[in-house]
Amino acid sequence: MTTPSSTATGKTQKYSLLIGVVVALAASACIFLVLFSRGHFRADPYIKSTLNLDGSLNKGSRLFRINCAGCHGISAQGLLGPNLHQVSERLNDTQIIRQVIEGRTPPMPSFKMEPQTMADLLKYLHSIN
């Protein structure tokens, strides 16, 4: 036989479990939205093709000196633009590519380039960690 007290305890446990499930689902949804907004789940053909290519360190280094060193310094130490040493520890490859091709943070200009050229630059940026 159940008593009013045991029935209330059972309902409280069920509600606690339900609240826990709802909180876990809400947290998962928030994490998904953050990752999605940062480009982790987008199927961008340009990014996909760039990431499927092997970059050339020499070509990437040359590209950096010509297009990036004026703001980021000849050794990527930072001037007007930020220091790029260990940039791949702060940003994933998709974020780096978007920053370069979209110029997401002013005064960074956007650079339109072929996927192979971007793969070369990405290879260089990985090397300066």
Residue 87: predicted pLDDT: 95
Rounded to an integer, what distance in angstroms lies between the CA atom of residue 72 and that of residue 93? 18
Per CATH, the homologous superfamily of domain 45-127 is Cytochrome c-like domain (1.10.760.10)
Mean pLDDT split into 10-residue runs, the chain, 129 residues: 63 73 65 58 86 98 97 95 95 96 93 97 94
pLDDT, position 129: 76
Domain boundaries, the chain: 1-37, 45-127
Q: What is the pLDDT of residue 43?
A: 75
What pTM value is reported for the model?
0.67
Residue 82: strand, helix, or coil: coil
